């Protein structure tokens, strides 16, 4: 089948700003998973042959662990079907075109996008692109249709 020049449709997404700030750190690949890394509304622990990456609330860090950046953590309101394409692209493209670096993490149901705090203007950029910031608390759930 010949390739087409059809663009992927741009999704207008709802997202939530998780209370933070968050931190992203790298430990040795063979390091044990520290207990402090496993608590909070959102944590991500990924082990590869090269590293142990941890994303967690900055408040979890013990005083001897340093992180060069503080991050805002944005949760896209899913779930999204695996067959849906362009979800993450729709969200991060407006940031990329403005030179704002991101750190993205995907889970089974949704995506999380972390943005360094010094790029706080990203929230305005996302809203200008048609994305909707929902309340920080769980009150947004009242807008979901009954199941």
List strand residue ranges (DSSP E) for the chain, in order. Answer: 14-27, 44-47, 52-57, 71-76, 102-106, 111-116, 132-134
Report pLDDT for 28: 96
Report pLDDT for 79: 73
Report pLDDT for 67: 86
pLDDT above 50 (res 1): no
* pLDDT per residue as tens digits for the range 89-146: 889 999 999 999 999 999 988 999 999 999 988 999 999 999 989 875 555 455 444 5
The architecture that CATH gives domain 14-140 is: 2-Layer Sandwich (3.30)
Report pLDDT for 144: 47
Report pLDDT for 135: 77
From CA 130, how far away is CA 126, in angstroms rounded?
A: 7
Quickly tell me which residue has 């993205």 as its tokens: 104
* pLDDT per residue as tens digits for the range 15-68: 999 988 999 999 999 999 999 999 999 999 999 999 999 999 999 999 998 888
**Does residue 122 contact residue 129 with C-beta atoms inside 8 Å?**
no
- Band (pLDDT 50/70/90 cuts) for residue 8 is low
Sequential DSSP letters for 85-141: -SHHHHHHHHHHTTT--EEEEE-SS-EEEEEEGGGTTHHHHHHHTT-EEEPSSGGGG
Report pLDDT for 68: 85
């Amino acid at each position: 089948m010949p390739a087409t020049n059809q663009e992927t449709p741009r999704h207008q997404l709802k997202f939530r700003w998780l209370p933070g700030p968050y931190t992203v750190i790298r430990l040795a690949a063979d390091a044990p998973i520290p207990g402090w890394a496993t608590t909070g509304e959102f944590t991500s622990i990924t082990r590869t042959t090269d590293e142990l990456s941890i994303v967690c609330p900055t408040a979890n860090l013990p005083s001897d662990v340093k992180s060069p950046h503080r991050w805002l953590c944005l949760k896209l309101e899913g779930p999204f079907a695996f067959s849906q394409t362009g979800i993450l692209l729709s969200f991060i493209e407006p940031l990329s075109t403005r030179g704002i670096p991101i750190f993205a993490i995907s889970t089974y149901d949704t995506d999380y996008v972390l943005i360094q705090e010094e790029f706080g203007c990203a929230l305005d950029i996302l809203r200008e692109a048609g994305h909707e910031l929902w309340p920080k608390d769980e009150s947004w759930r009242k807008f979901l249709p009954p199941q």
